[in-house]
Amino acid sequence: MCGIVGYVGDEYAVPIVLEGVEKQEYRGYDSWGIGANTEGGIIIVKHKKPDDQEFDWFVERVMRVDFCSSRNAIGHNRWATNGEPSDINAHPQTDCTRKIALVHNGTIENYRELKDFLLARGHIIKSETDSELIAHLIEDMQKQNGGNIRSAIIKAVNQLQGAFSLLIMHADHPTLQVAVKKGSPLVYAEVKPSCFMVASSPLPIIKYARNGKDIEDGQIVFIENGKAEELSFADEKIKINPIIFEGTEEELKHEGFPHFMLKEIYEQPCKLGETIAGRVFTHEPFIRLGGVEPVLPQLLACDQFFFIGSGTSYRAAMLGAWMFKNYLNVRAQAVQASEVGSHNILAGCQPDKTVAFVISQSGETRDLQLAIEEIQAKGVMCLGIVNVVGSKIARMTKAGTYLRVGPEIGVASTKAFTAMVLSEAMLTLLLGRHKNMTRDECITFANQILAVPGCLELIFQQADEIQTLAKSMVDQSALMLLGRGYHYATILEGALKMTEVAYIAAVPELAGEMKHGPIALIKPKFPVIVVAAKDGLRGAVIQNIMEIQARGAFVIGICTNGDEEMQKLVDKSIIIPDLPSHLATIPAAVVFQLLAYYLGVERGYNVDKPRNLAKAVTVG
């Protein structure tokens, strides 16, 4: 995904937009760009991020340029899709005359046809991006209709297929900014009378305004001469829905912590407290999930459940499906969003007795959007477990529950994962209370959920030890993670964290499967991290530990508090609180988060912006 941001009003626009670009760095950080409309034309500064430089380097490049006090600027964060990261592929992109400049988030699917059309009409295309074609297309439409920029833009956007949000400016219209939305998120606000900001997310805007508007697919906002006109792609006047932007400036900083990832790991006790606040009780009704209750009768009639997500959210989906099977005794299955189209997952399902929980931190993941479309087309209800309020996926679903963990800026998902697991536990309690759980079982289940936020402190007390462990493993290029039962999902999540922030090939394996092949990796001192919790699978895990110790492995055990026998068996232990296994996944995941964080830092990487990644993956 990419980030776009713009300001037009009576203030100097470039510093405001530059700050917005920095705030949206989580959306993409392989290139940055700024374009400002000035009396002398549009001035553009855009660069690929050098490997050894951060945002300050770009700020310094921008500061070298005289933008002639421009009051109208647009900015961009790029995560490359069409064309490698390079200065020329960075945005803003321009037309042949350099009068039209635009920034784009999304992908244009009819890119090839458009390129052939534009080349045949003599346009000179400089970059490899699909975005540049849009600028040329507007130029072409403008020539065809006597220079009217407004109808040129409307004609051009109607020819685009795919997902896109755009912010367009024109050198001959010093106060013009045009925001266009289809598929990729876009909000705008009048930040003070006659001054406007547009952005991919509210984050650049909340410093200036709380009341904004959430531009929907097929909507355009023409801002000129201090007025905003809201139109449809059919050039009809419309009214765009107002929204209140949530979040605080504080949430956008990592003060007191060297990285967002560490801040977000440490926020978990507090944020998970918010996830369950006012929702879980140790007395009747035990659980109240306002976002799900309107569909509760439908939900209770279902006997088949899917949990769908990507990456970390898929790992959470696995846990949701297992909780439903184990506690509700229903058919439940986790599916990766990108695989929904590959298999006939709904084969044999009765649509009115089936529900799909769709899980996403960002609410933007394209694979999940496509999965939802496919599932809904078959008449199956989708319910969201989403963090970003009002996001595309939240709006595509009929109902659902929000994670309430605030903005997650670090690319590696941490607090969102643990909140997803806790939300799934709440959904289990909600259905269990109505289906099969006794009053005493509900009380126990609720008490266990309520205990989770507070008990994470035990992990943070061991942070120094985890850091020391990371230091001792800093030169490892590979390691193995073992777990059974629920903890298979925990080690998949742990391995993903280590891969994405520390670039270590972490091999996650079901402990019981290890002897069928992966054991070949074991040699003296080879590090193996085993989730060795005190649960029904403990005996089998002990057996697996002995098998690898017999071959010289260095075993790091994630062991339950009080399980001294296990702590003695392993070569090094990290202690997690004594919780039932479905919830013990949460503190065990936090151990992996800290270990991956320290490994990444010790290996000298920027853990908040891992190589080749972006916070939300908006390409399918």
Tokens of 362: 């960002």
Q: Could you say whether residue 616 binds ligand M6R (CB under 6 A)?
A: yes
Q: If we measure between CA atoms, which residue out of 26, 84, 87, 95 comes closest to residue 61?
A: 87
| Cis check: omega of the bond before 285, within 30 degrees of 0 | yes
Q: Say how far apart CA 508 and CA 614 lie, in whole Å.
A: 23
Of the ranges 40-48, 318-326, 355-363, 509-517, which one interacts with ligand M6R (CB under 6 A)? 355-363
The backbone torsions φ and ψ at residue 251, rounded to the nearest 5 degrees and listed phi first, read: -65, -15
| Out of 261, 411, 533, 537, the residue judged to bind ligand M6R by CB under 6 A | 411
Q: In what order do the strands lie in the sheet with 505-510?
A: 505-510, 478-483, 527-532, 554-560, 572-576
Q: If we measure between CA atoms, which residue out of 122, 175, 182, 192 comes closest to residue 156?
A: 182
68 in catalytic set = no
Of the ranges 156-164, 341-349, 362-370, 564-572, which one interacts with ligand M6R (CB under 6 A)? 362-370
Of the ranges 356-364, 507-515, 570-578, 596-604, which one interacts with ligand M6R (CB under 6 A)? 356-364
Q: Could you say whether residue 304 binds ligand M6R (CB under 6 A)?
A: no
Of the ranges 310-318, 373-381, 447-455, 557-565, which one interacts with ligand M6R (CB under 6 A)? 310-318
Least Cβ distance, residue 612 to ligand M6R (angstroms): 11
Q: Say how far apart CA 180 and CA 178 lie, in whole Å.
A: 6
Least Cβ distance, residue 522 to ligand M6R (angstroms): 27
Least Cβ distance, residue 469 to ligand M6R (angstroms): 21
Containing H/E element for 380?
none
Site for ligand M6R in 494-533 (CB under 6 A): 496, 500
559 in catalytic set = no
Least Cβ distance, residue 487 to ligand M6R (angstroms): 18
Q: Could you say whether residue 596 binds ligand M6R (CB under 6 A)?
A: no
Least Cβ distance, residue 365 to ligand M6R (angstroms): 3
Nearer to ligand M6R, 165 or 360 (CB): 360
Q: Say how far apart CA 476 and CA 188 lie, in whole Å.
A: 47
Separation of CA 222 from chain center: 29
In order, the DSSP letters of 52-102 are: T--HHHHHHHHHTS--TT-SEEEEEEE--SSS-S-TTTSSPEE-TTS-EEE
**H-helix segments, 346-486:** 366-377, 392-396, 415-434, 439-455, 457-460, 463-472
Q: Could you say whether residue 368 binds ligand M6R (CB under 6 A)?
A: yes
Least Cβ distance, residue 572 to ligand M6R (angstroms): 25
| Out of 31, 165, 313, 618, the residue judged to bind ligand M6R by CB under 6 A | 313
The DSSP secondary-structure symbol of 194 reads T
Q: If we measure between CA atoms, which residue out of 229, 247, 248 comes closest to residue 238?
A: 229
Nearer to ligand M6R, 6 or 600 (CB): 600
Nearer to ligand M6R, 366 or 582 (CB): 366
| Out of 37, 413, 418, 428, the residue judged to bind ligand M6R by CB under 6 A | 413
CA distances to 22, 246, 363, 580, 599 from 53, in Å: 14, 31, 30, 45, 21
Q: Could you say whether residue 489 binds ligand M6R (CB under 6 A)?
A: no
Q: Could you say whether residue 74 binds ligand M6R (CB under 6 A)?
A: no
Cβ proximity of 412 and 263 under 8 Å: no
The backbone torsions φ and ψ at residue 47, rounded to the nearest 5 degrees and listed phi first, read: -145, 145
How many residues at the interface with ligand M6R, by CB under 6 A? Answer: 16
Q: Could you say whether residue 617 binds ligand M6R (CB under 6 A)?
A: yes
Q: Say how far apart CA 303 and CA 320 lie, in whole Å.
A: 15
Cβ proximity of 572 and 545 under 8 Å: no
Least Cβ distance, residue 423 to ligand M6R (angstroms): 13
Of the ranges 26-34, 254-262, 358-366, 512-520, which one interacts with ligand M6R (CB under 6 A)? 358-366
| Out of 31, 38, 310, 397, the residue judged to bind ligand M6R by CB under 6 A | 310
| Out of 311, 320, 518, 527, the residue judged to bind ligand M6R by CB under 6 A | 311
Of the ranges 52-60, 408-416, 552-560, 601-609, which one interacts with ligand M6R (CB under 6 A)? 408-416
Site for ligand M6R in 24-53 (CB under 6 A): none
Nearer to ligand M6R, 127 or 310 (CB): 310
Q: Could you say whether residue 360 binds ligand M6R (CB under 6 A)?
A: yes
Sign of the torsion angle spanned by Cα atoms 75, 77, 80, 84: positive
Least Cβ distance, residue 600 to ligand M6R (angstroms): 12
Nearer to ligand M6R, 132 or 500 (CB): 500
The backbone torsions φ and ψ at residue 228, rounded to the nearest 5 degrees and listed phi first, read: -115, 130
Q: Say how far apart CA 9 and CA 175 lie, in whole Å.
A: 8
Q: Say how far apart CA 318 and CA 352 lie, in whole Å.
A: 23
Which residue out of 392, 415, 497, 615 is catalytically annotated?
615
Which residues are annotated as catalytic? Answer: 2, 615
Q: Residues interacting with ligand M6R, by CB under 6 A? A: 310-313, 360-362, 365, 368, 411-413, 496, 500, 616-617
